[in-house]
Amino acid sequence: MAAASNIQRVAFIGLGKMGQPIAAHVLKAGFPLTVWNRTPEKAQALIASGAALAQSPAEAVSRADIVVSSLIGDEAVLSVTTGKRGILAGLRPSAIHVGASTISPNASEKLERLHRRKSMHYIAGPVLGRPTAAEAGQLTTFLAGDPASIERVRPVVTSYAPTIVAVGEHPRLANVAKLFANFLLVMSLDAIGQSLALAEKSGLDQKIAAQMLSGFFAHPALKDYVTRIAAREFYPAGFDITGGMKDVELMIDAARDVELKLTSAEAIRTKMRRALKSGLRGSDWSSFTEIDRRPASPGRSP
């Protein structure tokens, strides 16, 4: 429950699968809450619990100290923010807008500029977690923007995202961090799917495959590789890139034998070939990651 001497009025914009449970936690924490959603019916449970319903984003934010928006994509966020009866039309100069949506870094920069031109404050705060985590009030959020403004919104944000990672003063960095996290997840999902496909098509017992996958993601070697790759420590080689190239070729061939195309392995093979041509022969097999990290030069492959 928010302290009575420090209660801030909150407006919540967007009551989708994530927005509705997030707003419910803000209300449960004791913050006076006004909500707006394109479909007003989605606000009924919140209204029954004490929230007020506004007829437009501008009306919802007109008396708010903190505004949290949870909308889908760049277009929706920019439209609701800049519309004739949008957030900027009603936001007070002293108020802070927290953007909880997953949007592009460029859109985040634009939102920051639009708010700054009107002497208003924008904090990027995309959340990490599934709707079940939102319902449990156990989301993680990345916050970026003015440090003083981040501290002002922290009590509200903590009500739905107890794990807060402040990533800098430029709002776009929070969106980069969210995309970074989602990229890790989607690539892991792809690796899981392709690994299971190879096991199934090759006749490997699925219980053994699942056991191997579960153990892999908890294996300490992964942390070692994070450290090695982050620091570009490819010498001495734990496993030489030439041997790694050989193993990747074996993976691709084994999959081809069971009519499976390991697209991730083929992409890695391409990078390994480029790494070998660029002078990384004798390095650790993880050195193929340098191909993506090296700056591209005109007329020169990275």
pTM above 0.85, yes or no: yes
Whole-number pLDDT of residue 252: 95
Per residue, what are the HEC states of the chain? Answer: CCCHHHCCCEEEECCCCCHHHHHHHHHHCCCCEEEECCCHHHHHHHHHCCCEECCCHHHHHCCCCEEEECCCHHHHHHHHHHCCCCHHHHCCCCCEEEECCCCCHHHHHHHHHHHHHCCCEEEECCEECCHHHHHHCCCEEEEECCHHHHHHHHHHHHHHCCEEEEEECCCHHHHHHHHHHHHHHHHHHHHHHHHHHHHHHHCCCHHHHHHHHHHHCCCHHHHHHHHHHHCCCCCCCCCEHHHHHHHHHHHHHHHHHCCCCCHHHHHHHHHHHHHHHCCCCCCEHHHHHHHHHCCCECCECC
Q: What sign for the dihedral angle of Cα 110, 115, 119, 123?
A: negative
Mean pLDDT of the chain: 94
pLDDT tens profile 200-215: 999 999 999 999 999 9
**pLDDT band at 296; cut points 50, 70, 90:** low
Catalytic option among 178, 201, 223, 246: 178
pLDDT exceeds cutoff 60 at 253: yes
Tokens at 119, concatenated: 């002497």
Identify the pLDDT of residue 218. 87
CATH 1.10.1040.10: which residues of the chain? 178-293
pLDDT digits (tens, 9 = 90+) for 26-58: 999 999 999 999 999 999 999 999 999 999 999
Give residue 5's pLDDT.
44
| pLDDT of the residue at 282 | 95
CATH architecture of the domain 4-169 equals 3-Layer(aba) Sandwich (3.40)
Q: Confirm if 134 and 163 have CB atoms less than 8 A apart.
A: no
Please say whether the structural domain 178-293 has been given the CATH code 3.40.50.970.
Answer: no
The per-residue pLDDT for 1 is 53
Q: From the CB of residue 124, how many other CB atoms can be counted at a distance below 10 Å?
A: 32
pLDDT at residue number 297: 54
pLDDT the model gives residue 299: 46
Where do the CATH 3.40.50.720 domains begin and end in the chain?
Answer: 4-169
Catalytic (active site) residue 178? yes
